[in-house]
Chains A and B, each alone.
Chain A
Amino acid sequence: MTPQPALKVEHLDVVYRVGRQERRVLSDLSFTIRRGESYGLVGESGCGKSTAAFAAIRYLARNGRVSGGRILVDGRDLMALSAAELRTLRTQSVSMVYQDPGRALNPTIRIGRQMTEVFEVAEGLKGKQAHERAAQMLARVQIPSPERVMANYPHELSGGMQQRVVIAMALSINPALLILDEPTTGLDATVEAEVLDLVSRLRGEFNNSILFISHSLPVIARMCDRVGVLYAGELVEEGPAASVFADPRHPYTVGLLRCVPSYGRRKSHGRLETIPGFLPAPGSITGRCVFVERCGNATERCRSEVPPRIELDGAREGDAGGRSTRCFYPERAPDLPHTAQAPAQALAAVAAVAAASAAPRAAQPLLRVRALSKTYQVAGKPFHAVNNMDFELWAGETLGLVGESGSGKSSLAKLLLGLSIPDPGGRVELGGETLAADTAARTAAQHKALQIVFQNPGSALNRSQTVRRLIGRSLRLVGLSGRARETRLLELAASVRLTARHLEEKPRQLSGGLKQRVGIARAFAGGPALVVCDEPTSALDVSVQSAILNLLVDLQAEQQVSYIFISHDLNVVHYLSDRIAVLYLGRLLEIGPSEAVFSGPHHPYTAALLSANPAAATHANRIRLQGELPSALNLPSGCVFQTRCPRKIGRICEDQEPALLDAGLRHAIRCHIPAAELTRAP
């Protein structure tokens, strides 16, 4: 008799009551997780993956309910349990790790107490025994000095540490099923890599089944044996992770995999794929295939019938190991038409830009930054947000800025734009003119020339103004009026693929992608020479990101604009940028052409960042960084990276800050180790 699967979901329907209507958030969801198996649910925002996770632990929001189907946890029908039985289930069989660990921990109770209460309620332990078990558990998740951490409050720990504590709490009961809901979203790349490593290792030790929820395909590919793809509340494809990602059989999965810039891809290779259309609200599409409006393979049949779940490879429904898809034509999925037809001149323009940036410079740089610093005083101690930066940017070039939290990339952007005042001694020159430190003191021409696209489109647009007004106000800079202004407005809207209808709408009526286009139109209103793009696609869904990135590349080719592109996503930065600068704790550690920085030789920190990328090569050669990110109030002496550097050579790293040493054509690395000795990327 095979043991019961850890989780078996059968034809699950979940509805939410919004206002007076009910919206179906999950439709006919069925999947099984066997003992010891790791199952990933992947999808974009609103697809219902979190709802599925919470349904599996019977914790839906107040306005949600299960309207059909069954959930069997460890063989028991979840919905039939009494309150007491449910509680017992939660103390014995199922536990959960959450997305935002800082908020998942009670800010007013010490860590130790929050840990021991798990043992008290699960095993009836008290006092010293519970305390010891808690300390042991914390040690198993590689928290240094568990006793000290137990005396801390959550806000005294870093994000990575908080998540380890939550993982420790969840594994304390050795559950049959461990649910992880976006556990690394919002964590820095290197921290994410460590947390994922930890989960993998613990899985080996504890042998739980895992339900892993994420929007990130590379993470799921890395962590899960099997994967289910959710779209608008329906499971459109399912199967072993390796085969689903290698050979997807649903047009949505195909599209999704194509949209994400693959490791090593550059803009000179061509435009990114997109999925045309918009994400529908869950439950809004009935009576036909949920993906039909965006599917390049759609036929009449797809428009009038709901495709059933089709088992592939001869498996039967209920088999827990096979592949299935919800498409009438799974065999045609790989032939889904590509959306990125590159018009010849666009490709040529992009290639020209790329070639131009590789050529030796004769002309003056467009942007020159010298000795730029920003120091804040926090509780009497200096906080160096940006520490003495020097670099240049040429016309038509894209400089990518990468770094984790605290690196100073956002602060640098604010300094360049004049939104915050640099320390005396710093200088920013645009087109040969020194820019005033405060944006209010700059000329209209300078305002037109240097603009920004913000990360969060919701906050970037004044919600009380229509799109017409939002773009129009920036057109005042150009000094146009009347008919000429109207023409220019329509041109701008067209250049970002907005229609006339959009002009009359207010931001709340637009999707994230559309809002971001408005932000881009606004930035380009005055014909800028340099646009700072501050994580412009981080807040958007994957299927929308590629369209925005394509737009940015097109605009650059048309107008010869330079970009400073800030992002934490290395693949996107690599795709878009001609040169890359790597920042750490306010210091510039490396700057050089993208290819050189990516393939090496590169700074040890850059090497660690690259190896932390889940899409990168195997984790066998993961470079692990020691310790935690130092507090910015207490910068390490000498090289700012020395406390965590796996290639630290000795006292010199602690005593002396390295200078930027030459490492090839316009490539500089701030390290005591000469470039020739620094390894190349795996």
Chain B
Amino acid sequence: MSVVSERLRAAAHSATLITGLAILTFWIVCALFGSAMTPFDPYADNLLSTLASPSTAHWFGTDQLGRDILSRVIMGARDILIVAPLATLLGTVLGTALGLCIGYLRGALDDVVSRVIEAIQALPLIIVALMALAAVGTSNATVVLVIGFVFTPLIARTVRAAVLIERDQDYVAAARLRGDGRLTIMFVEILPNVLPLALVEMTVRLGYAIFFVASLSFLGFGIQPPSADWGIAIAENYSLIGSYWWTVLFDAAATASLVIGVNLVTDGLKSVVDA
């Protein structure tokens, strides 16, 4: 018990962790209560004041359809904060289970699966995602599934490496010697020792997932319009960047801040877990 409170105290002292959590919390609040926070209706066209530069009325200016950019930036947090974490969670759960199985059971299963993982890893993830999404069509649900499945081999690989070390430890032999079955050993004995690693992986992947979803949305293969998602906004307004920089910069900054926030949390967590 004292170990847990020790960790919590270390966490409270970690500046990176606190800053990261602050940023994350801000965006989560935006995602949850966005509709109450926006000064204007993010979806309302106002063709009278299109492409207005930032002013006291519109802090972030307006876009091609006259929509207030500040409001859209606030609302844009919602979809990405649903899709990215779900995808990461899916990938982590599947990846950990897969890594446990192939790491512990080894044999032909491990050989085949590892080869397949290697093959998939020969490709940049975004390419794999594009192929899959082109094939199955794009919606929030398919994006979650595709990204989740794309992460699974990566996480499985890390978990497998940790499991390989654990299975050579004598406590696993001791468990076998008291008649524990394979499933028991994998999930009751080994899993608690690889779980911290899996959790750290999950937070690392979350940062990447956010970036990934934003990129896919930018490319039109992620979150779909009419969502106020930042990636879409950048894509829609990118051709205007020469003269109307505000239509792109704020969405980009928002994405950057969210990714940075998650990365800070990851770093903070890592230093707490390692301590």
B117 to chain A, nearest CB (A): 26
B170 touches A456 (CB 8 A): yes
Which of A127-135, A160-168, A471-479 interfaces with chain B?
A: A471-479
Are B174 and A442 in contact, CB atoms less than 8 angstroms apart?
A: no
Assess A442 versus B179: contact at CB under 8 Å? Given A462-B189, A464-B192, A464-B193. Answer: yes
Say yes or no for B177: interface residue by CB 8 A criterion.
yes
Tell me which of B3, B176, B192 contacts A439 (CB under 8 A).
Answer: B176
Which residues of chain A are near B177, meaning CB under 8 Å? 417-419, 439, 447, 450-452
The residue that A440 contacts in the complex, of B170, B171, B173, B176, with Cβ under 8 A, is B176
Q: Mark B171-215, 1 if CB is under 8 A from A, else 0.
A: 101111111111000000100110000000000000000000000
For B, the interface residue count at a CB cutoff of 8 angstroms equals 17
Contacts of A450 in B (CB 8 A): 177
**Shortest CB–CB separation between residue A29 and chain B, in angstroms?**
32
Q: Which of chain A's residues has its CB closest to B166's CB?
A: A462
Find out whether the CB atom of B176 lies under 8 angstroms from the CB atom of A459.
no
B137 to chain A, nearest CB (A): 43
Given A419-B173, A454-B170, A462:B178 Cβ within 8 A = no
Residues in A442-491 with C-beta less than 8 Å from chain B: 442, 444, 447, 450-452, 454-456, 459-465, 473-474, 476-477
B217 to chain A, nearest CB (A): 40
- Chain B residue at minimal CB-CB distance from A457: B170
Contact B193 A463, beta carbon cutoff 8 Å: yes
Cα of A456 to Cα of B181 in the assembled complex, Å: 23
- Distance in Å: Cβ of B182 to nearest Cβ of chain A: 8
CB distance from B43 to the nearest CB of A (A): 50
Whether A454 and B174, one on each chain, are in contact in the complex, defined by CB atoms closer than 8 angstroms, is yes
Cβ 8 A contact of A477, one of B169, B179, B182, B189 = B179
Q: Which A residue sits closest to B184, measured CB to CB?
A: A473
Min distance, Cβ B4 to any Cβ of chain A, angstroms: 12
Question: Contact between A461 and B176 (Cβ–Cβ < 8 Å)?
Answer: no
A455 — which chain B residues lie within 8 A by C-beta? 170
Q: Which residue of B lies closest to A464 (CB)?
A: B192
Q: Which residues of A contact B189 (CB under 8 A)?
A: 462
Task: Report the bound CA distance from A450 to B179 in whole Å.
Answer: 12
Complex Cα distance A455/B174, Å? 12
Q: Which residues on A sit within 8 Å (CB–CB) of B169?
A: 459-460
CA distance A586 to B271 in the complex (A): 47
Chain B residues in 8 Å Cβ range of A460? 169-171, 174
Q: Could you say which of B3, B179, B181 has the most chain A C-beta atoms within 10 Å of its C-beta?
A: B179
A419–chain B nearest beta-carbon distance, Å = 6
Q: Which residues of B contact A442 (CB under 8 A)?
A: 179
Nearest residue (CB) in A for B194 is A464
Question: Of A419, A463, A465, A476, which contacts B178 at CB under 8 A?
Answer: A476
| Alpha-carbon distance A473/B175, docked complex (angstroms) | 9
For the complex, give the distance between the alpha carbons of A506 and B180 in Å: 21
Q: How far, in whole Å, are A145 and B180 apart by their CA atoms in the complex?
A: 53
Proximity bits, A407-433, B CB within 8 Å = 1, else 0? 000000000011100000000000000
Q: Does A522 contact B (CB under 8 A)?
A: yes
Q: Write the chain B residue with the least CB distance to A465.
A: B192
Q: Which residues of A contact B193 (CB under 8 A)?
A: 462-464
Residues of chain A lying within 8 A (CB to CB) of residue B181? 440
Contact for B171 among A447, A462, A476, CB less than 8 A: A462
Chain A nearest CB, measured from B238 CB (Å): 49
B10 to chain A, nearest CB (A): 11
Please report the C-alpha to C-alpha distance between residue A461 and residue B193 in the assembled complex, in whole angstroms.
Answer: 12
Q: Mark A372-407, 1 if CB is under 8 A from B, else 0.
A: 000000000000000000000000000000000000
When distances are taken between beta carbons in the complex, the residues of chain B under 8 Å from A459 are: 169-171
Chain B, residues 69-112, CB within 8 Å of chain A (1/0): the string is 00000000000000000000000000000000000000000000
Closest to B182 in A: A440
A659: min CB distance to chain B, Å: 34
Q: Cβ of A476: which chain B residues have Cβ within 8 Å of it? A: 178
A522 with B174: CB separation less than 8 A: yes
Bound together, the chains give a CA A460 to CA B176 distance in angstroms of 12
CA distance A455 to B173 in the complex (A): 12
Name the CB-closest residue of A to B196.
A464
Task: Report the bound CA distance from A241 to B87 in whole Å.
Answer: 69
**Distance from A524 Cβ to chain B, minimum over Cβ atoms (Å):** 12
CB nearest neighbor in A for B180 = A473
For B3, list chain A residues within 8 Å (CB).
506
- Closest Cβ of chain A: how far from B246's Cβ, in Å? 47
Min C-beta distance of A505 to chain B, whole Å: 10
Q: Which residue of the partner chain B has the closest CB to A440?
A: B176
A418–B173 Cα gap in the complex (Å)? 10
A595 to chain B, nearest CB (A): 33
Q: State how many angstroms separate the Cβ of B119 from the closest Cβ of chain A.
A: 27
Which A residue's beta carbon lies closest to that of B172?
A462
In the assembled complex, the Cα of A418 lies from the Cα of B174 at a distance in Å of 11
Q: A464-B192, A473-B178, A474-B178 are in contact. List 8 more A-B contacts (CB 8 A).
A: A439-B176, A444-B179, A454-B170, A456-B170, A459-B170, A462-B171, A473-B175, A506-B3
**A–B Cβ pairs within 8 angstroms, 5 of them:** A447-B177, A450-B177, A462-B192, A464-B192, A465-B192
Closest 4 CB pairs of A and B: A464-B192, A460-B170, A462-B171, A454-B170
